[in-house]
């Protein structure tokens, strides 16, 4: 119990996660030769497995941390969609929030990894907007579930789920329910009205702002984004430079990275929004929740593949970081 003392009590806190669903396919092996057909490595496959990606990885992280996720998203009527549902059940996540869209492909990302390094990624997906009937069903689900939750996460991978209309509806729904609303964004869907906090990485932040910027400019960029939106805060995730929290009210805060050794950054952003949303759902401040999210990200990048962080690992990381 002492190991969990540093964490807010988010047991039983319900977080609605809405976003693009991705099936991650990992192929691992070793390289001992170069192909005679082209100057590329030949990967001799030793293992392969499927994992929950995109918004489902956010939900999986919330469950691993001790919260209760409610996942809403769209899959295709295909083998990948069936595999996705099976993985959700295996992880103990409910499938009632999954909408099946006929004629739409489930997003599938195949990563080929050799000696802990990604050799190539193959994407099979459709990024066209979801149909009108699916969008209407999404609105109904969000309206029903947001009021029963303690926080909401929008996990945007720009795969066709979100539209300006749906995002306006989601922001208004969260405002009506009075719950924190965390957004993992893509610049194409700026400005995410009604967001409590938006968590762009360096590339996404440059897209939102209009140009690349140095870490020393982060506060000025954050203030500029807040002037153009109704967000309560922006949290830049800056890789090995940590995070930078810029709230609408109060001082900006630089949070140092908490990473000992990086093996794989896959899904780290999902872990950030999961921990951040749980912290806010439990009543922690934006700064405290951001520090928790930073520590959780430091844990998962030290693992290979789409990974999660446990409460014990998170508590230890928080103690180690002071």
Angle in degrees, 0-180, between the axes of helices 286-300 and 311-321, rounded to the nearest 10: 110
At residue 260, the pLDDT reads 58
- The total of other beta-carbon atoms located within 10 Å of residue 128's CB is 10
> Rounded to an integer, what is the distance from CA 198 to the centroid of its chain?
11
Amino acid 301: pLDDT: 79
The pLDDT assigned to 240 comes to 85
- The CATH superfamily assigned to 11-24+53-106+135-321 is Ribokinase (3.40.1190.20)
Which pTM was predicted? 0.92
Name residues of the chain where pLDDT drops below 70: 1-5, 259-267, 303-306, 322
How confident is the model at residue 1, as a pLDDT?
37
Residues 219, 201: Cα–Cα separation, whole Å:
14
What is residue 158's predicted lDDT score, i.e. its pLDDT?
Answer: 96
| Alpha-carbon span 321 to 6, nearest angstrom | 11
pLDDT of residue 65: 95
Question: Would you list the domain boundaries of the chain?
Answer: 11-24+53-106+135-321
Percent of the chain with pLDDT over 70: 94
pLDDT reported for residue 306? 58
CB-CB neighbours of 55 under 10 Å: 28
Tell me the catalytic residues.
270
pLDDT of residue 321: 74
Helical axes 268-281 vs 286-300, angle rounded to 10°: 150
Token pair of 114 as six digits:
């050799």
């Amino acid at each position: 119990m002492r190991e969990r003392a540093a964490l807010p009590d988010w047991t039983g806190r319900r977080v609605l996660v809405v976003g693009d669903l991705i099936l991650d396919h990992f192929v691992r092996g070793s390289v001992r030769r170069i192909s005679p057909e082209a100057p590329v490595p030949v990967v001799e496959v030793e293992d392969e497995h499927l994992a929950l990606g995109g918004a489902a990885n956010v939900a999986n992280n919330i469950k691993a941390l001790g919260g209760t996720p409610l996942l809403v998203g769209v899959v295709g009527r295909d083998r990948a969609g069936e595999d996705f549902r099976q993985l959700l059940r295996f992880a103990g996540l409910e499938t009632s929030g999954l909408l099946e869209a006929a004629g739409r492909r489930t997003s599938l990302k195949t990563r080929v990894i050799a000696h802990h390094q990604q050799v190539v990624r193959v994407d099979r997906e459709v990024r066209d907007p979801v149909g009108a009937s699916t969008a209407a069903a999404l609105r109904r689900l969000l309206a029903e579930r947001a009021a029963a939750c303690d926080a909401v996460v929008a996990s945007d991978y720009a795969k066709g789920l979100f539209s300006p209309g749906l995002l306006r509806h989601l922001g208004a729904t969260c405002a009506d329910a009075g719950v924190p609303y965390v957004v993992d964004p893509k610049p194409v869907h700026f400005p995410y009205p009604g967001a409590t906090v938006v968590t762009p990485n360096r590339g996404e932040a440059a897209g939102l702002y209009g140009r690349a910027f140095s870490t020393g400019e982060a506060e000025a960029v954050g203030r500029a984004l807040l002037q153009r939106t109704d967000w309560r805060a922006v949290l830049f995730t800056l890789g090995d430079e940590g995070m930078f929290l810029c709230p609408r009210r109060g001082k900006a805060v630089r949070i140092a990275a908490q990473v000992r050794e990086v093996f794989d950054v896959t899904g780290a952003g999902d872990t950030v929004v999961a921990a951040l949303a749980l912290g806010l759902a439990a009543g922690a401040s934006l700064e405290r929740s951001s520090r928790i999210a930073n520590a959780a990200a430091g844990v998962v990048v030290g693992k290979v593949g789409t990974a999660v962080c446990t409460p014990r690992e998170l508590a230890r990381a928080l103690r180690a970081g002071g």
